[in-house]
Each structure stands twice: as C-alpha cells, then as structure tokens.
Amino acid sequence: MNAPRSVMSLAAALLLAACGSADQGEIQQWMASQRAQTRPKVQPIPEPKKFSPQAYTQANAFDPFSNQKLTQALKRESAQTTASTALLAPELARRKEALEGFPLDTMSMVGSLFKQGQPVALLKVDNLLYQVRPGMYLGQNYGKIVKVGESEVVLREIVQDAAGEWIERTATLQLQERSK
C-alpha cells in the first residue's frame, strides 16, 4: 500500500519541478525592456506666490468693546423697550378674576346662552360651572374675552416672546360635546 502512495508523491514532485525556471528568462527580458521604455511624466512644481504684507489701519478706529459703546447701545435698547411696552402690556394693577388662576387647557366650554340680551358662555373648570361674557378675563396669560359665540369663546392673550417683549395672540375655547 505504501508503494502506490510513494509513486504518487514522486509524480507530484516531478510535476512541480517541471514548472520551474524554464520560461523565466523570457519574462525577465520583457520586464527589462518595459522598464527601459517607460518614462514617468512629472510636472514641475509652480513657483510660490509673492507675499505682500498689509498694514494694519484699524489701530486708531473705535474699539468695539469699549464701555462707551456698550452704554450707548443699552440706552437705545431701553428707549425702544419702553416705547414698545407703552403700546402693549398687561394690566398688572387690576384685581384678578377667579378664572385667571387656571390654564386654558383645564377649561371646557359646555354651552352658551343669551342673558339680558348679551351672549354668555358656560365654562366648566374643576367640575364647577362658570358664566363668562365679553370683557371678562380668564387664563394665566392675561386673556380677555373678545367674543362669545354659540360654539366658541375667543380671547386676546398678552404674552412675552423670547426677547421679553409683550405680544398679542388670539386663543379660542371650542364647545365640547358631551361624552356618554
């Protein structure tokens, strides 16, 4: 049994030896001729640009961080703020009404009616029923009722924006259908 195995190993070794260096001479000659014919193309590096220094001319200019400039800017801003505040601001001196302690999302309009010729809305807050009419205040954003309709209460709120300025916005309470 060892004889066929050894014959196979000997045949494999002879095959590998036959693949040796017979054609390497031609390949090496071809490689040498290719190296001689190939010329790399290298572009020359461009000349560096001339540096021309610039004179600093702002040394005598107004300092942007000076206290004088900051004071002037603050005076201008406060003058603008007082002018815009005088135009629109909540009435802080008046007595608060009962419904100004509740946010609008806790209130629901459950009905409307006419009382003595004026429209009146029925609002439910904490399982209590309140009657409201135009001119009354409600909500935590200085909301004043502008209109009472059959299906909604429209109010004008005065709130502060991100810059701290008072702005006016409209909010509504819609009639809520009774759930069974």
Please state the pTM of the whole predicted model.
0.51
Q: State the pLDDT at residue 74.
A: 80
The token duo for 99 is 């419904």
d(CA 13, CA 6): 11
Region of 32 (left: φ > 0; alpha: ψ -120 to 50; beta: rest) is alpha
Q: What domains does the chain contain, in order, with CATH numbers?
A: 98-174 (2.30.30.830)
- Longest Cα pair distance anywhere in the chain, in angstroms? 126
d(CA 21, CA 18): 8
Q: State the pLDDT at residue 24.
A: 79
Q: State the pLDDT at residue 38.
A: 85
Enumerate residue ranges in the chain where pLDDT < 70. 1, 16-23, 80-87, 179-180
User: Dihedral angle at the C-alpha atoms of 63, 66, 72, 77, nearest 10 degrees?
Assistant: 100
Q: State the pLDDT at residue 17.
A: 65
Q: State the pLDDT at residue 86.
A: 54
Q: Which helix (H) or strand (E) holds 114?
A: strand 108-115
Q: Are 90 and 142 in contact (CB under 8 A)?
A: yes
pLDDT tens digits, 95-116: 999 999 999 999 999 999 999 9
